[in-house]
Amino acid sequence: MKRTFKLEDLDCANCAAKMEDAISKLPGVTKCSINFMAQKMILEADDDKFDAVLKDAVKCVSKVEPDCRIII
């Protein structure tokens, strides 16, 4: 499954790269790309694990940039 999410208060490009890195390494994630300019994240993960993966992704994001939120 592939879904696009909006990111709020994503303020630093370096952080976006770090988030992308961290989320891509999560188990169950096929592909993750974060577009700093469009403030969007495209997450591709196994269908049955998607919700769990998304939860982990949210954690990753707030770890790297505490102000930033994924809008679900």
Partner 1 sequence: MTKKQKKTIKRILVAALLLVVLKLLPLSEMLGSVFGEAEDGTPFVLRTIATIVLYLIPYLVVGYDVVINALKKIRTGDFLDEEFLMMIATIGAFAIGEYPEATAVMLFYQVGELFQSIAVGKSRKSIADMMDICPDTAIVLRDGSEEEVDPSEVSVGEIVVVKPGEKIPIDGLILDGTSSLNTAALTGESLPVEVTPGSPVYSGSINLTSAIKVTTTTEYENSTVARILELVENSTDKKSRSEKFITRFARFYTPIVVILAILISVFCAIFTDLGVSGSIYRGLIFLVVSCPCALVVSVPLSFFGGIGAASRRGILVKGSNYLEALSKIDTIVLDKTGTLTEGAFAVDAVHPNQIDADTLIDIAAVAESRSHHPVAESIVNAHGKHIDPSRLGDVEELPGRGIRAVIDGKEYYVGNGKLMDEVHADFHECHLPGTVVHVAMAVATGDSEAAGNSVAADDGATEGNKEKVSEYLGHIVINDVLKKDSPDAIADMRRAGISDIVMLTGDNEKVAAKVAGETGIDKYYAGLLPGDKVDKLESLLDGTRHVAFVGDGINDAPVLTRSDVGIAMGALGSAAAIEAADVVLMDDRLGKIPEAIRISRKTMRIVKENIAFSLFVKIAIMVLGALGFADMKLAVFGDVGVLVLAILNSIRAMRIPKSS
Position among 1, 3, 25, 38 found at the interface with partner 1 (CB under 8 A):
38
Residue 47 CB, nearest distance to partner 1 (Å)?
19
Burial classification of residue 37, based on how many CB atoms lie within 10 Å of its CB (0-12 exposed, 13-18 middle, 19 or more buried): exposed
24 binds partner 1 (CB under 8 A): no
Residue 48 is a binding residue for partner 1 (CB under 8 A): no
Asked whether the beta carbons of 22 and 62 are under 8 A apart, the reply is no
Residue for token digits 């990753």? 60
| Minimum distance from residue 32 beta carbon to partner 1 (Å) | 10
